[in-house]
Amino acid sequence: MNSYLTIENGVLTECDKNASGNIIIPDEVVSIGDYAFWNCSSLTSIHIPSSVTSIGDRAFGGCSSLTSVTVSPDNHVYDSRDNCNAIIESVSNKLIAGCKTTIIPDSVTEIGAGAFGRCEYLEAIAIPSSVITIGNSAFYGCSSLTSVIIPEGVREIGKQAFHFCLALRTVMIPSSVIWIGYAALFDTPSLVSLTVSPDNQVYDSRDNCNALIESASNKLIVGCQTTVIPESVTEIGAEAFIGIKSLTSIYIPAAVRVIGRAAFFWCPSLTSINVSPDNQVYDSRDNCNALIESASNMLIVGCQTTVIPESVTEIGAKAFIGIKSLTSIYIPAAVRVIGQDAFYRCSSLTSITVSPDNQVYDSRDNCNALIESASNKLIVGCQTTVIPESVTEIDESAWEMWKSLESIRFPDTITGIEQCLQCCTSLTHVSLPISLIEGRYDNPMRHNEIPTLRSIEIRL
């Protein structure tokens, strides 16, 4: 198996991703580089010899099939005490690499950065009371981990510590925790129970809200699918609910004054968005099922049942991102600005219409597309779009809407295609003017990137 290893002057810099089974690192190795075994997902066993005195950052990240991790008993820097199936820094008692069969010894005081990163088959882990710090990305991408009990004694939970733990359902924060890093619990769509010890002096989950709140600031920093935002919350943090696929409804209380960036992005099951009528900053006027900044008339979050009010003047960037069940859009006359990727990944859209009184956008010729009137640039399309002859350019973000398209005709007026058609995964036929080939685009079709394509018509 050593043929899979790249070793230069005693430094193991890389393991071939095709390596599988057992890896025995030779005695000539004194250092293992950063990410050296990254995503070697077929490795099952690794042995660290006595010669190794340095192991780099996330050296074994993504080795998801590992079941045996051992260190030579003659190594003076690292150990795998108590047959724990992990690598531990002997002096600091920091666990730097674990696997799905790891049992964390009672003597470990820190779980290092990325120690279990992308350990996809780790289903459960017992963290002993000796642990004080859970490092950055310690359990990042442990997609099978369903629950974690963080014991009393833990003081710090690092950034992205449990990020992308897709199966994680319950988390309890003990009274000893005084710092939780950014995104520590983001993208945990299965989370249904998020509680904080009532004795914690920094964080709380008041009113049985199933959310993590900074007590002093009244800022909700992490929510889940069962969260009820308390009336005392004044701020919803950036990305607090991002990627919660089962979240169906939002109610914003009167006291909320700030909603952070991307707080409700990628929540595809949302059907109900309501704001307290006493809120002075946000509203959901006309029962629109959307979140609107009252002063600016900007719609910042929409859902599959949103009806954009006539008074809205701006649709914010990514306002409807990932709402896969959204089937139709109507843009009222007052809308003057539509932010970048406002309708990105709305893959079920079949109807796009714009008020004939809108002075900035149109959907000319019943095209089922959103066009910037002045530039003749198509910025949003859907699976039923017919590109009008007057369109001169197609925005790169429009292609994402066309995964179901089987045939497309580019009019002679087209002068620019900002992104090729590799997103159109069902495309079988394309018709385009020769100018798109003879002009500044050497090959806009990239035929080899569209495996379903059977025919291309080039018009003279």
Evaluate if residue 450 carries a pLDDT over 80.
no
- For residue 129, give the nearest of 110, 106, 113 by alpha carbon: 106
State which amino acid sits at residue 222: V
Judge contact between 226 and 240, C-beta under 8 A.
no
The pTM assigned to this predicted structure is 0.90
Q: How many CA atoms lie within 13 A of 332 on its CB side?
A: 16
pLDDT tens string 87-119: 999 999 999 999 999 999 999 999 999 999 999
DSSP 146: -
232 Ramachandran zone, left/alpha/beta (phi>0; psi -120 to 50): alpha
d(CA 417, CA 411): 12
Four-residue CA torsion sign, 433, 374, 265, 322: negative
Instruction: Name residue, tokens 């150990």.
Output: 79
pLDDT tens string 230-273: 999 999 999 999 999 999 999 999 999 999 999 999 999 999 99
- For residue 39, give the nearest of 6, 14, 17 by alpha carbon: 17
Task: Report the pLDDT value the prediction gives residue 447, as an integer from 0 to 100.
Answer: 47
Q: What average pLDDT does range 394-402 have in this prediction?
A: 76
pLDDT tens string 322-346: 999 999 999 999 999 999 999 999 9
pLDDT tens string 297-318: 999 999 999 999 999 999 999 9
The total of other beta-carbon atoms located within 10 Å of residue 357's CB is 8
Judge contact between 365 and 384, C-beta under 8 A.
no
Task: Report the pLDDT value the prediction gives residue 440, as an integer from 0 to 100.
Answer: 45
pLDDT tens string 34-47: 999 999 999 999 99
Evaluate if residue 409 carries a pLDDT over 90.
no
Q: Which string of DSSP letters, residue by residue, matches 11-61?
A: EEEEE-TT-EEEEE--TT--EE-TTTTTT-TEEEEEEE-TT--EE-TTTTT
Residue 429, phi then psi, degrees to nearest 5: -140, 140
Residue 33 class from Cβ within 10 Å (0-12 exposed, 13-18 middle, 19+ buried)?
Answer: middle
Q: What average pLDDT does range 359-363 have in this prediction?
A: 98
d(CA 271, CA 330): 17
Evaluate if residue 443 carries a pLDDT over 70.
no
